[in-house]
A and B are shown apart, each in its own frame.
Chain A
Amino acid sequence: MSLQAADLNSTPHSSSTSLNTTLVEAPTPQNPTIALEKYKKKDAAKVIVRFRAIGNAPILKQNLYKISASNKFQAVIQFLRKELNYKASEPLFLYINSAFSPAPDETVANLVKCFNTDGHLIINYCTSAAWG
Chain B
Amino acid sequence: MTAPQNPITRAIWDGTLPIKFSLDGTEAAELGAKILVEPYFIEAPRCSYFPLLTSQIRKYFVDMALNFIGDDAEIWYDVDGIPLKWHYPIGLLFDLHTGYRPDSNSPPPLPWPVTVHFKNFPLDKLIRAQAIDATQDFFMSMIKEADFLRNGSTKKVMNLSKNDQTQLWDGLWSSSSQKYRTENYDRFWSVNYRLVINDGQSPRHIPLRIYLPDNCNPLTLGEVLHQILPDLFPSSLPTENAFAAPVIHGVIPQLNIPIIWASQNLCYPDNFLHIVVLLGT
Q: Which residues of A contact B (CB under 8 A)?
A: 36, 39-40, 74, 96-97, 99-105, 114-115, 131-132
Contacts of A39 in B (CB 8 A): 212
Say whether B87 contacts A132, CB under 8 Å. Answer: no
Say whether A115 contacts B148, CB under 8 Å. Answer: yes
Within the assembled complex, what's the spacing in Å between the Cα atoms of A23 and B246? 40
Instruction: Type the 1/0 row for B129-148, where 1 means its CB is closer than 8 Å to any CB of A.
Output: 00000000110111011001
Say whether A102 contacts B212, CB under 8 Å. Answer: no
| Closest A residue, CB atoms, query B213 | A36
Say whether B148 contacts A100, CB under 8 Å. Answer: yes
Contacts of B138 in A (CB 8 A): 103
Q: How many A-B residue pairs have CB under 8 A?
A: 37
Within the assembled complex, what's the spacing in Å between the Cα atoms of A103 and B127? 9
Number of residues from B at the complex interface, CB < 8 A: 18
Given contacts A96-B148, A102-B145, 6 further A-B contacts (CB under 8 A): A74-B127, A99-B148, A99-B153, A100-B144, A102-B141, A103-B142
Contacts of A103 in B (CB 8 A): 87, 127, 138, 141-142
Q: Which residues of B contact A (CB under 8 A)?
A: 85, 87, 127, 137-138, 140-142, 144-145, 148-149, 153-154, 158, 205, 212-213
Contacts of B144 in A (CB 8 A): 99-100, 131
Contacts of B154 in A (CB 8 A): 99-100, 131
> How many whole Å from A86's CB to the nearest CB in chain B?
15
Contacts of B148 in A (CB 8 A): 96-97, 99-100, 115
Say whether B141 contacts A114, CB under 8 Å. Answer: no
Within the assembled complex, what's the spacing in Å between the Cα atoms of A100 and B145? 6
Say whether B85 contacts A105, CB under 8 Å. Answer: yes
Contacts of B153 in A (CB 8 A): 99
| Closest B residue, CB atoms, query A102 | B145
Partner of B137, one of A40, A102, A132: A132
